[in-house]
Structure 1
């Protein structure tokens, strides 16, 4: 596709610090934001003009915890699967994502990581693949949830280095249980390699979480789910995540994994700059209710065959955004950082993505007042348009 200069005009533009009610944006041929202005655009050289007709331009949403969608999983280990996941989630507001592994054999994890490295070089048709979230296998069997118990194992520096190499150092985020044997060494080693360490599928107590933070942990995985719960005499991981400013907390805001009032509580306590919205979407996101391999879906809820264990979600980022504004009463402008700058920061890509700023990638959504997506753009290219 020929690279072209695009002018967006007649738009309500959501910047980090304010909203421009009548604005324009110029995107250069490299897919970067060149200029943003207010009022009628001055005479500017451009190839394409997009009249937004008073609708809103918001930064593209970034999902750092996504396993699959539309029948495809990252653990399939194929470019085709990642491309389908990318295209599906772009339709639902995601412009960048971390492909997320599941606890599996070392061979299967390496296959998926090799695929991510190759796919990263090829590029995606929809949402931009910006790295990998390694969820497991170094977790606590007591809090395994839907993760495969038989493949859970203790961390070793040797295995960690194999994963880093297999991904060509694309691992941006790792979920582990620091309290298991060798856990703190794993936290420190990942942190030393520039990987954001997340506490998840963990039975740690408050002091164990505090020790993990001291050696580099900075995040929690799907907060309240798969972790030791809050108790007034032992805060556990759930309480520690809320109490410690050093930890950014993920949240699956589907109203199923976490009660809407508790979603609001987390946002109220942590604030939007320390809350990271995710989907934890699995392969059956976008598919109808029914029975699938290992899981069944009913009313959009994904369960293991035992009928009680949640196994990821069918949530999309745009639905999550709608949910959180409803659950919390916060405005779109107020909650956007949890979907944009916070995940970008945690994945260490905030110099490229996460806000509409000069020099950053032109990853954006055009939405109406009901947050219905009209178009999705990634690096200035329209990858989805509402039919």
Structure 2
């Protein structure tokens, strides 16, 4: 079926096409033009007057939502996550495993592998897994399970090899043990390497870049920054992320993890092409707002004032905010240009994850993953590979 959406503002990578026309055919974008220039027929026409179309959102760091999370290690949990985020405009999702014992991680990865094989049009695509740990630094563990954190060994490299078809991104602290030595082998598996939960000094991050690191995980959160050594100050992961063009910076923009001024600094330093918005959401997203506790990886967390914290309330754990709500926060509260925010939630993340050839922008030949949004950027309708999410 061909679907043409007319009289709609189209957010491309380069510009906003006013009164545009978009043709979806056989799962891909077949044409992008002004409504006055359209020529091809369509079996269904949608009048988009007063609306806009943006690329489907891509979330490369998401632990859970709708009452379920990836660490449950079941297909059911992942299917529920996929359904929940499909209702929030996420067309590509990387379910994220937090640090856990290896048997539990294997169970989670096997579930992701199985659900990846079930991907179909009209549903959020599960594109692989983000393994956030367990090869982290305990000093910056945040709310990760400390007992599960350990340095990487040859046995763990074989673990990655076994699941190299599933693990598309991993967060590692390069300064711990021999973790850095394994970076080249992991990159050879086409796994994106992200520095996070790390005490690394500036020069250690540079070494990680040289070894294959391409991003940092949740900028500002659970990472080193400027410190004084003797009479002198040295930078940490934060400063390396802000100054090194080789690194993408992933950032949580829920209005709780970071104040607006830190988001503004990141935006000015990195630019739209290197800043990727993620939810880092927990299973509480969409079901809990205040006062309840949740359990994951043997740990207990509390939800208060719009965010998840550890049981002692000394550390933020994750968000309860899907990316579509972060889009609205960035535009209407932080004050960033809408066209840039759209890129930070789609194209930039697609480039970071190596899938920009088929996703992340509205361009002819790419997957027809799109969101129709209103003037307040509420998601009105989502299409995954040209098929409406949730049916007609």
TM beyond 0.5 = yes
What is the aligned partner in structure 1 of residue 257 from structure 2? 257
- Does the CA contact (< 8 Å) of 2:256 and 2:306 recur in 1? no
What is the aligned partner in structure 1 of residue 95 from structure 2? 99
- Does the CA contact (< 8 Å) of 1:10 and 1:51 recur in 2? yes
Q: Runs of 4 or more off by more than 3 Å in structure 1?
A: 40-43
Task: Please list every run of 5 or more consecutive structure 1 residues that lacks an aligned counterpart in the other structure.
Answer: none
User: Residues 266-285 of structure 1 correspond to what in structure 2 (within 5 A)?
Assistant: 266-285=266-285
Distance 1:287 1:74 in 2: 16
Distance 2:184 2:62 in 1: 25
What is the aligned partner in structure 2 of residue 38 from structure 1? 34
Question: What root-mean-square deviation, in Å, do the aligned CA atoms of Structure 1 and Structure 2 show?
Answer: 1.7
TM-score, normalised by the number of residues in structure 1: 0.95
- Does the CA contact (< 8 Å) of 1:83 and 1:126 recur in 2? no
User: Residues 287-306 of structure 1 correspond to what in structure 2 (within 5 A)?
Assistant: 287-288=287-288, 289=290, 290-293=292-295, 294-306=300-312
Per-residue deviation, 1:160: 2.8
What is the aligned partner in structure 2 of residue 244 from structure 1? 244
Q: Secondary structure at the match of 2:142?
A: coil
What is the aligned partner in structure 1 of residue 327 from structure 2? 321
Distance 2:58 2:267 in 1: 18
> Quick check: 1:152 aligned with 2:149?
yes
- Does the CA contact (< 8 Å) of 1:164 and 1:171 recur in 2? no
Task: Please list every run of 5 or more consecutive structure 2 residues that lacks an aligned counterpart in the other structure.
Answer: none
Q: Secondary structure at the match of 1:17?
A: coil
Deviation by residue 1:72-111 (Cα, 9 ceiling, x = unmatched): 0111111211111111112222111111111001111111
What is the aligned partner in structure 1 of residue 367 from structure 2? 361
Deviation by residue 1:240-280 (Cα, 9 ceiling, x = unmatched): 11111111111101121111111111101111111111010
Q: Quick one: which of 185, 190, 194 aligns to 2:186?
A: 190
> Quick check: 1:12 aligned with 2:18?
no
Q: Secondary structure at the match of 2:364?
A: coil
Deviation by residue 1:173-207 (Cα, 9 ceiling, x = unmatched): 11000001111112222112211110000011111
- Does the CA contact (< 8 Å) of 1:178 and 1:199 recur in 2? yes
What is the aligned partner in structure 1 of residue 222 from structure 2? 226
Distance 1:345 1:115 in 2: 26
What is the aligned partner in structure 2 of residue 52 from structure 1? 48
Deviation by residue 1:272-320 (Cα, 9 ceiling, x = unmatched): 1111110100111111221222111112211111112111110111111
What is the aligned partner in structure 1 of residue 128 from structure 2? 131
Q: Secondary structure at the match of 1:375?
A: strand
**CA pair 230-90 structure 1, distance change in 2 beyond 3 A:** farther
What is the aligned partner in structure 2 of residue 110 from structure 1? 106
- Does the CA contact (< 8 Å) of 1:145 and 1:201 recur in 2? yes
Q: Secondary structure at the match of 1:292?
A: strand
Aligned residues: 381
Greater Cα shift, 175-184 or 47-56: 47-56
**CA pair 41-49 structure 1, distance change in 2 beyond 3 A:** farther
Per-residue deviation, 1:170: 2.4
Deviation by residue 1:154-185 (Cα, 9 ceiling, x = unmatched): 1123323323423x512211100000111111
Per-residue deviation, 1:384: 4.5
Deviation by residue 1:137-170 (Cα, 9 ceiling, x = unmatched): 111111111111101111123323323423x512
- Does the CA contact (< 8 Å) of 1:177 and 1:199 recur in 2? yes
What is the aligned partner in structure 2 of residue 27 from structure 1? 24
- Does the CA contact (< 8 Å) of 1:273 and 1:342 recur in 2? yes
What is the aligned partner in structure 2 of residue 71 from structure 1? 67
Deviation by residue 1:123-150 (Cα, 9 ceiling, x = unmatched): 2663211111110011111111111110
Distance 1:102 1:24 in 2: 42
- Does the CA contact (< 8 Å) of 2:4 and 2:46 recur in 1? yes
> Quick check: 1:370 aligned with 2:384?
no
Per-residue deviation, 1:20: 1.1
Distance 1:160 1:381 in 2: 39
- Does the CA contact (< 8 Å) of 1:89 and 1:316 recur in 2? yes
